[in-house]
C-alpha cells in the first residue's frame, strides 16, 4: 500500500510541472498583437488630398488650423499643384509674387512620395487652388481658416472661379516645404519595436512567475514523497 502511494505521487509530478508551464507564452503573444494594430498620426498636421480618386478636388476643401500648425498636401495622379490666391482674384497668384506654390506634382500611380507643407503663421483666411490648366475653373480650390460669418466662403470662391478665363500658376516654387509626409500613420516597424519591448517585459514576468510556481510544486511534492517514504520505513 505504501509503495502504491509513492507511485501515485511520482506519477502526478509531470502533470503538475506541465500545468506550471502552461500558458506562459500566450500573454506575450496577445500583447504584441494588440500593439501591432495600433496606429497614430502626427498632432498639429492637417492632411489635404489633392485629386484623390481621379477627382478635381481638394479634400477637405475647408480646413481650420491654428498658428504653428502645418497643412500638408498629398498629390494623386496624374498631375496637380497647389497655389495661393486672394478671394478677389480666384485662380490667380498674388501680383506681388508672394503666393506659395508647390510646382506641378506628377505621379502615374498612387500618391506622390513628396508632399507640400505650409506652416500657418496667422489665422487670416488663406485661399488656394490647383494651378494646372483648367482645374481651378472646374472648382478645384480650397480655403484655410475661412471666416465664421460673411459672404467670403469656399462656395463663393468656386462660383467665381468658374467664370475665370484661365488659370495662372506662379512662376516660382516657394512658400512651403516639399518632402516626405509628416502625418503618415506610424509604420508597422515602429509599432513592432514598441510592442517588442512590451512583449519582452511581459514574457520575463510570466517566466519568473512560472519558475516560482514550479519551485513550490517541486517542494510540495518532495515533502509528500518524503512523508510517504518515511511511512514505508516505519
Q: Which residues of the chain have pLDDT under 50?
A: 1-40, 185-219, 221-234
62-101: burial string, b at 16+ Cβ within 10 Å, e else: ebebeeebbbbbbbbbebbbbbbbebeebbbbeeeeebbb
Distance CA 1, CA 12 (A): 17
Which of the 8 DSSP states describes residue 61? S
pLDDT of residue 42: 82
pLDDT in tens, 54-72: 999 999 999 999 999 999 9
Q: Round to whole Å and give the CA distance between 66 and 58.
A: 19
- Phi, psi of 156, rounded to the nearest 5 degrees: -70, -40
Looking at residue 41, its pLDDT comes to: 59
- The confidence score (pLDDT) of residue 36 equals 28
3-state helix, strand, coil in the chain (%, to 5): 40, 20, 45
Q: Which of 141, 176, 135 is nearest to 157 (CA)?
A: 141
By the 10 Å C-beta count (0-12 exposed, 13-18 middle, 19+ buried), 127 is classed as buried
Tell me how many degrees the CA angle 160-75-97 measures, rounded to the nearest 5. 55
pLDDT per residue as tens digits for the range 190-208: 222 232 233 333 333 334 3
Q: Of the candidates 153, 169, 207, which has an alpha carbon nearest to the alpha carbon of residue 26?
A: 207
Query: 45-179 sits in which CATH class?
Result: mainly beta
Percent of the chain with pLDDT over 90: 59
Amino acid at each position: 500500500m505504501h509503495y502504491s502511494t509513492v507511485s501515485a505521487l511520482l506519477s502526478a509530478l509531470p502533470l503538475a510541472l506541465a500545468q506550471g508551464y502552461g500558458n506562459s507564452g500566450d500573454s506575450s503573444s496577445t500583447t504584441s498583437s494588440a500593439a501591432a494594430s495600433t496606429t497614430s498620426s502626427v498632432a498639429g498636421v492637417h492632411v489635404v488630398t489633392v485629386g484623390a480618386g481621379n477627382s478635381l478636388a481638394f479634400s477637405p476643401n475647408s480646413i481650420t488650423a491654428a498658428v504653428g500648425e502645418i497643412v500638408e498636401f498629398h498629390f494623386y495622379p496624374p498631375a496637380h499643384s497647389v497655389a495661393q490666391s486672394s478671394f478677389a482674384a480666384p485662380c490667380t497668384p498674388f501680383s506681388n509674387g508672394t503666393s506659395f506654390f508647390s510646382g506641378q506634382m506628377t505621379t502615374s500611380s498612387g500618391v506622390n512620395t513628396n508632399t507640400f507643407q505650409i506652416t500657418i503663421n496667422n489665422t487670416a483666411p488663406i485661399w488656394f487652388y490647383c494651378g494646372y490648366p483648367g482645374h481651378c475653373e472646374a472648382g478645384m480650390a480650397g480655403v484655410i481658416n475661412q471666416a465664421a460669418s460673411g459672404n467670403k466662403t469656399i462656395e463663393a470662391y468656386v462660383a467665381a472661379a468658374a467664370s475665370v478665363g484661365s488659370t495662372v500658376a506662379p512662376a516660382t516654387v516657394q512658400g512651403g516645404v516639399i518632402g516626405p509626409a509628416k502625418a503618415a500613420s506610424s509604420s508597422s516597424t515602429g509599432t513592432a519595436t514598441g510592442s517588442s519591448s512590451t512583449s519582452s517585459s511581459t514574457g520575463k514576468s510570466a517566466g519568473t512567475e512560472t519558475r516560482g510556481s514550479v519551485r513550490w510544486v517541486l517542494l510540495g511534492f518532495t515533502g509528500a514523497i518524503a512523508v510517504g517514504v518515511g511511512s514505508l520505513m516505519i
